[in-house]
Amino acid sequence: MEQKNKYFGTDGIRGKVGEYPITPDFMLKLGWAVGKVLCEGDHNPSVLIGKDTRISGYMFESALEAGLAAAGVNIQLLGPMPTPAVAYLTRTFRAQAGIVISASHNPHGDNGIKFFSSSGVKLDDEIEQRIEAYLDQSMTTVDSARLGKASRIGDAAGRYIEFCKGTIPSRMDFSETKIVVDCANGATYHVAPPVFEEVGATVVCIGADPDGVNINDGVGATKPALLQEAVVREKANFGIALDGDGDRLIMVDHQGEIVDGDELLFIIAKSRLYSGGLRGPVVGTVMTNLGMEHALNQLGLVLKRAPVGDRYVVEMMQKYDSLLGGEGSGHIICRDRTTTGDGIVSALQVMAELWTSGKTLHELKLGMTKYPQTLINVKLQQRCNLDEVEAIQVAKLDAERELAGRGRLLLRPSGTEPLVRVMVEGEDSALVHSVANKLASVVTAAVGS
């Protein structure tokens, strides 16, 4: 039977700042526990720490640093840095692990910790369980001569900027391109604008003035309305929306229409197919739009569906030796370019196809037709096994009979919040909406708060 983690969820450890385990004392102990695991295999390990722009990052950075040092680990501080940049820099600096202090697209009152291995991928479950085992032990401190030291990497941003630019051919010139870039007042505020400027584009920035509490506040990949308005107002070719830690991408075409992660992944997959750079299936999730699956099939490509969460997408990509995977939320993994979801790198891949094809983003997204999809989040009183709630299972069977093969539905507990996501999609918008609302009503009555 698979062991369930006590603290680690699908994307590290996350929660409300000040509520256990997102507290300074826990972060001190977590740093020590991580250090103990690393010291089992290396007597002089080093760890990189990056963070997004939320104010609590300072507090947790210091606590993690102290815990790691107490275990005998050297620490290299990156300051505000996108999650994918930490993955990249962990590899290039030959560190034993990378730590990101971020709650991604969540508001400033949340925070969390994500880890990368020395190869720039999320930690294996077995390593997470070893860390949790140390968290249940009493904290000790190594001899003073073996305490870890901390230093700061001054050129981290510049290294990452050059890496991003290198993921597309240098011959591609975007000097005739005007774009709006929304940095979500997050970790990309000082790296995304230079990347797109240095490949030649004229860049208008929004959401690039973080103050510690405005991260993801009305801006970014989860709230693209301001970007849509700005693209139309500025008469830009397109817009790019990143989230607070820079691993998500949503784009906006010149008409102000959103181009989501499924559509972007399809554009990149089609581009790779025609250039001969595609290998293996395209990996999506159980939430990936059915229209994308059908569009890929028409190109002779196969879609494999993983559970929701970029770590599961990456695991399936590795299993099938796939180069492309992603989620509708905008986590896109171009495994031929980097090891994890990277909003900036993904945007550049789309830009490369725009340059090669001579088409607009609006024209490229017409290559697939999205099926109507309704997603309703139901807040839970407490986490529960939906399979054991009879009323929900009866309603699910009724919904499937009503769809009659013309769509699909999914009930999925969130991995990071006390929510059940009710998703229904199909060819008939009115039917999809009706079925989703009826199913969500039953879920709310049975287990909702």
Active centre residues (catalytic): 104
337-to-84, 132, 412 alpha-carbon distances in Å: 12, 32, 31
Nearest Cα to 446, choosing from 388, 403, 401? Answer: 388
**Under 8 Å between Cβ of 361 and 251:** yes
Question: Which residues have a Cβ under 8 Å from the Cβ of 85 and sit 6 or more positions away?
Answer: 50, 78, 156, 157, 160, 187, 191, 246
Token pair in block for residue 430: 């009115």
In whole angstroms, what is the distance from residue 200 CA to residue 244 CA? 25
Token pair in block for residue 404: 């009659």
Positive or negative, the CA dihedral 75, 80, 83, 87 is: negative
In whole angstroms, what is the distance from residue 264 CA to residue 333 CA? 11
Positive or negative, the CA dihedral 168, 170, 172, 175 is: positive
In whole angstroms, what is the distance from residue 21 CA to residue 19 CA? 6
Dmax (CA) for the chain in angstroms is 70
